Amino acid sequence: MNQHSLLESIKTPADIRSFSIDELTDLASQIRAAICSQVSRTGGHLAPNLGVVELTIALHYVFDFSKDRLLFDVGHQCYPHKLLTGRFDKLANLRTSKGMSGFPEPRESEYDQFSVGHAGTAISTAVGMARGDTISGQAFDPKDNPTGRRVVSLIGDASIVNGVSMEGLNNAGTLNRQFLVVLNDNGMSISSPQGAVAQYFDRLRLSHIYSDLKKSAKRVLKHVPGGNLVEEAYHRMGEATKHMINEGAWFENFGLLTVGPIDGHDLPELIEFLSEAREFDRPMVLHVKTVKGKGFEFSEHDATTFHSPKPFRVDGCRVEVESGSRSFTAAFSDAMADIMQRDEKVVACTAAMPDGTGLTRVLNEFPDRTWDTGICESHALDMMAGLAKTGMRPFFAVYSTFVQRAFDQAFQEVALQGLAVRLCLDRAGLVGGDGAVHHGFCDVSILRALPDAVLLAAIDEPSLQASLEFMRTWDASLSAVRYPRDSVSERFADECPPFELGKARCLTPNLTGLDDNKPVDVAVLCYGTPAIHADLAIATLADEYRVALYDARFVKPVDTALIRALLSRKTPIVTVEDHSLVGGFGTAVLEAAQEMSLDTSCILRAGLPDNWIYQDSRTDQLHMAGIDAAGIARSIRLVTSLSDGKPMPKIEITHAGKKASATAHHDR
């Protein structure tokens, strides 16, 4: 028999409703095998998906999500769901433009409600859908509309502690209709869960005795439609399940009936309780206990490492994860350890991403000055503001895509107060396989609006070290440095000079564009790692053009003296950034030139276009955006044609197999 025979036979979730329990168990094994095999080759989210296989099967077995609503929180636990909704053929190209996204994606299937990459959103969006279905008369009602739509939120990886989740729960309790929150409680966030709520769930999982639970359960069941069936199941399963119904559970404070915790890997039990929950006409939480990484020995024992691993190979009793080159994250980790060793005022935190941001080392070495706050970026930044107010020098390590969730705090509690909080923005720019939900494409545009903010970018490890040292002693305002999910380059291995506020660094010291005796054809100003690709591009054009290359270092304040000097010499400028052109570095250069009443007609901006770039390799994404070496070379040729007064050509931007004609980004 084909090892994926059952899985490959599924075209829609309705197909599994004819399966026996034994076949569903075999299906779970096939799903795990398929996910492990694929992620071992390409990387991806492994442990979160292995932990929800039975739970996902049971949900699709009981509910009909062709009309019912299933919302994910967090989205990286969706692989089993995608395999059950007819996307097995897309698994082989996971996280590429030819295959399926690693997150829910409505472009792929009607079974995906939202593109979900950030935690805390499912309950609130589900409340909105529940209210909308009620208004339109489509909502399930056991008497008036028994075939109506039901709503289910699947919560995972401790995202329930997110502030938006709390706000959603507060409103969910006011719904007068069916509304199910399934809490996938695996005792883990992306790393170990943090905070008082996480500790509460730890105690709940470990506790075996509740006071007079049978009486409590009966009192609850009197007020619950279908309660007699739950009571029968309670008696039938015996002593082992006395803990399953708890009237005094934490969620009761939000007005949601709470059942559980139940075993999230016991298919008959899951199906029975979900079948009961399906008929409830009031908000309810089903607390499901799972094992993150279930079914793969290595991920069960080390769910953090195998949360989202690179490709790996199992060799007997060992597993070898693809190592790759030294990353910016690793470079940041070592730099922060050095800074904290030298300066006792430096403190640091992350929001549930100690491994992802590189703070694990300093968490271990400086436990009294480093914190993991859990999945709550807004709280983390406000906490950093409080530390800054006491005279500390706080660093907040956070993915660029997640700092968006703390913009209000960056505005109100940091920038407005004139406090020196330091943002270290990992995964800035294009992020590869995680795709549109995780691109760090707008941190410059949102932070540049804050008065007195100082915004930097690093191009390599020495540059990152120098930028962090500048920020350490910058006590006047909010500051931020951005760097990508990429390996550090050694192309500019010379000693890196210190950062000076608002001053760019010339990377072609023999050709600066400022020496009238050595004129240049073009000056390329790069913000961050595009400088590496620009240097490669310049090397291919050495016989055609004399090009000055600059590492801009700062987008705020931008180097106005350099811009003035170049434009006063009529030198064309190409700006390059791994960021949206809207409000980004190129825009800052244009604004500075305009404010100085300089001619901007030969400034050409290269950066991320004003459309979504979906999952693929980072290399391919850079090519799509035209900011790899080949794209930058085209921009250099184009800007020289502009300076010669030639007609402006069209540029073809290729994305996901489609071509869109676009005019070069410049200002006339």
SS (H, E, C) 274-314: HHHHHHCCCEEEEEEECCCCCCCHHHHHCCCCCCCCCCEEE
Band the pLDDT of 35: cuts 50, 70, 90: very high
Band the pLDDT of 426: cuts 50, 70, 90: very high
Q: Look at residue 654 and tell me whether its pLDDT is greater than 90.
A: no
Instruction: Please report, for residues 189, 348, 358, 359, 433, the alpha-carbon distance to residue 397 in angstroms, rounded to integers and kept in the order given.
Output: 17, 7, 8, 8, 21
Q: Which of 405, 422, 448, 505 is catalytic?
A: 405
Backbone angles phi, psi at 643, to 5 degrees: -70, -25
Question: Whose structure tokens read 């932070």?
Answer: 447
Task: Report pLDDT for 316.
Answer: 61
Q: Look at residue 663 and tell me whether its pLDDT is greater than 50.
A: no
Band the pLDDT of 61: cuts 50, 70, 90: very high
150/280 Cα distance (integer angstroms): 10
Is 292 assigned a catalytic role?
Answer: yes
Q: Is-same-fold flag (5-297; 328-482)?
A: yes
Task: Report pLDDT for 46.
Answer: 87
Q: What is the mean pLDDT of residues 44-64?
A: 93
**Residue 571 is inside which H or E element, if any?**
none
For the chain, give the longest Cα–Cα distance. Answer: 93
Q: Which of 32, 69, 292, 553 is catalytic?
A: 292
Q: Which of 160-174, 224-238, 344-358, 437-451 shows the lowest per-residue confidence on average (mean pLDDT)? A: 224-238
Task: Report pLDDT for 2.
Answer: 64
| Tens-place pLDDT, residues 480-538 | 999 999 999 999 977 899 999 999 999 999 999 999 999 999 999 999 999 999 999 99
Q: Could you state, in order of their start, the residue ranges of all structural domains in the chain? A: 5-297, 328-482, 508-663
123/164 Cα distance (integer angstroms): 8
CATH 3.40.605.10 fits 5-297, yes or no: no
Instruction: Please report, for residues 28, 169, 282, 407, 408, the alpha-carbon distance to residue 173 in angstroms, rounded to integers and kept in the order given.
Output: 33, 6, 9, 28, 27
Task: Report pLDDT for 644.
Answer: 63
Backbone angles phi, psi at 327, to 5 degrees: -95, 165
Q: Which of 192-196, 420-424, 638-642 shows the lowest per-residue confidence on average (mean pLDDT)? A: 192-196
Q: What is the mean pLDDT of residues 614-625?
A: 95
**Of all residues in the chain, what percent carry a pLDDT higher than 70?**
84
Q: Which of 231, 272, 276, 377 is catalytic?
A: 377
Q: What is the mean pLDDT of residues 13-39?
A: 94
Could you tell me which of 374, 430, 424, 421 has the C-alpha nearest to residue 398? Answer: 424
* Higher pLDDT pick, 258 / 300: 258
Q: What is the mean pLDDT of residues 233-256?
A: 53
Class of domain 328-482: alpha beta
| Tens-place pLDDT, residues 179-195 | 999 999 886 545 555 55
pTM of the model: 0.83
| Tens-place pLDDT, residues 339-358 | 999 999 999 999 989 999 99
CATH number of 508-663: 3.40.50.920
Q: What is the mean pLDDT of residues 102-128?
A: 91
Task: Report pLDDT for 202.
Answer: 47
With beta carbons less than 8 A apart as the criterion, state whether 102 and 435 touch: yes
Q: Which residues pair with 288 in a beta bridge?
A: 184, 262
